[in-house]
Structures are given as C-alpha cells and as structure tokens.
Structure 1
Amino acid sequence: MTTGVLVLWGLVGCFMCLQQLRLGADAMGQASAYDRALYAALPNWYDSLFAIAVLTGLVGAVLLFMRRASARPFLIASLVATIAQFGWLFASTDIVAHKGASETLGLPFVIIAVAAFTLWLVGHARLKGWAV
C-alpha cells in the first residue's frame, strides 16, 4: 500500500516536471510578473535537475514497490537532486522574501520529507527482509 502511494507520488512529480517544462512559469496556474521573471532567470540546468529528481524518485519507488533493494541508489540520487534544486532556489533567489515563507517553504519541505522517508523505507525493508 505505502509503496503504491509512493509510485503515485512519483508519477505526480513527473507530471509536474513535464508541466513546468511545457508551460514554464504558468505550470502552477496563472503566473505573476515576479514568477515569470524568476523562471526566466533560472539557470539552464535547473529544469534538468528537476527531471533527475523526479525520474530517479519514480524509478526508486517502482523498484521499492517490486521489493528490490536496488531502489536505494535511485532514491539517494533523488533526495540529493531535490535538496540541490530547492537549496539553490532558496539560497540564490529572493523568493522567500518576495512571497513569504508560508507560501514557499511548505511544499518543498514535504517533498524532501517524502524523499527521505522513501529512502528510510528501502533500508527498513531490506533489514526486515521485505526487499532483496
């Protein structure tokens, strides 16, 4: 059950990444002038890092669903890419000052927490003999 939800979470992440690649700043709805300027200023590698984060997370979740301990390197890559993506965004832009912490920090913290939980789960599954 939990691993199925994690696969669904990964699919949603991939969909959101595709939306951002396709729609840019308008991916989350009608973008403000600030959102458009922020998105235009993102480095070229930012979308690639987003894609790496969600694709490795999805592969890791699918492998965990299949009870494979080989999910671990994918989940590590996903967590590292996610932290790098959000870390750069918050350290290099004024998004928190402009939009406020309550609007900008919640979802990234949830995403990082889910990635960390998934990584913990594969280790726990391996210890319990659920994953080989």
Structure 2
Amino acid sequence: MVPTWYWIVSGILLIWNAIGCFACFSQMTASPEKLAGLPEGQRDAWLAMPVTAKAAYVVAVGAGLLGAVALLCRCAAAGPLFIASLVGVIVQFGWFFVVYKGASRFGVASLAFPGFVALVAIAQIGFACWAKTQGLLG
C-alpha cells in the first residue's frame, strides 16, 4: 500500500519542478524589452551566461519535472532523473558562483535560493532512493 503522504510529497515535487520549468521557459524566451527591464546586475549575469550553463538549467528543470512524473507513475527512473537534475543544478550554479563570481558581485545573500534549490534536488534523490527501497517504485 502506497502511503498518502507519498502522493502528497510527489505532487509537491511535481509543482516545484513545473514552476522551475516555467521560470526557465520565461527566462529563455524573454524579449530584449523584458531583459532591458531587469536590474542591471541581473541582466548582465543572464547575458553573460554561456550556452552550456543555460543547457544545464534546462536539464536541471526538465529532468526534475520528469523525475516527479516518474514518482507519480511509481517508476524507478525517478532516481536517475533526479540525479541528472542535480548535475544540471551544479553546472548551472557552478558557472554562476565559480566562473561568474556571482557571490562577490551580488553578495552572500545570493547563495540562499540556489542553496535551497540544491537542497531540494538532493532531497528528491533521497526520496526516490527511499521509495525504491520500500518497494514503491518498479
């Protein structure tokens, strides 16, 4: 029997990852006018982001969404998909903090949201691993 809270957690992860996909899509398709309306530092960071970091962003949110769908389908692919998502998160934010030096440009507070995203990505992996050991994933 699958516990009710499994479905709740899986649903929350689906919503979280869908929001990430929406944010990614919105950023990737932003018009020049929309980019011009961003604060200068944010606009400069987005324009400086290389294609590899943008691709990592797409992988992070896309694999996360597919992983959440896999959880809801009780499919063992959830774990590997969440691992791919974490790798995307690491590459994307690695570029921002290591190469672009985002924390020195925007301050230590700029670590908060990416840190939370990374923690959720790790928690998703843990949840999928737990679900597999409990026989909830096929």
Same fold (TM over 0.5): yes
Q: Distance in 2 between matches of 1:67 and 1:24?
A: 39
SS at match of 1:131: coil
Q: Distance in 1 between matches of 2:28 and 2:14?
A: 21
SS at match of 1:105: helix
CA separation of 1:67 and 1:95: change in aligned 2, threshold 3 A: same
1:90 partner amino acid: F
Matches within 5 A, 1:1-132: 1-23=8-30, 26=34, 30-102=37-109, 104-132=110-138
Q: Distance in 1 between matches of 2:132 and 2:102?
A: 39
Runs of 4+ in 1 over 4 A off after TM superposition: 24-27
Mark the runs of 5 or more structure 1 residues left unpaired by the alignment: none
Pairwise CA distance, 1:112? 0.7
Pairwise CA distance, 1:7? 0.4
Q: Distance in 2 between matches of 1:13 and 1:57?
A: 9
Mark the runs of 5 or more structure 2 residues left unpaired by the alignment: 1-7
Tell me if the contact between 1:24 and 1:39 (Cα under 8 Å) persists in the aligned partners: no
SS at match of 1:110: helix
Q: Distance in 2 between matches of 1:71 and 1:12?
A: 18
Cα RMSD of the aligned pairs, angstroms, is 1.9
Q: What TM-score results when the alignment is normalised by the length of structure 1?
A: 0.90
Pairwise CA distance, 1:98? 2.1
Work out the number of aligned pairs and report it. Answer: 130
CA separation of 1:87 and 1:60: change in aligned 2, threshold 3 A: same
Q: Deviation string for 1:10-55 (max 9, x for gaps)?
A: 100000000110127957xx42222222222211222211111100
Q: Distance in 1 between matches of 2:12 and 2:114?
A: 18
Q: Distance in 1 between matches of 2:11 and 2:84?
A: 20
Tell me if the contact between 1:64 and 1:71 (Cα under 8 Å) persists in the aligned partners: yes
Q: Deviation string for 1:86-128 (max 9, x for gaps)?
A: 01210011321122111x1111111111111111111101111
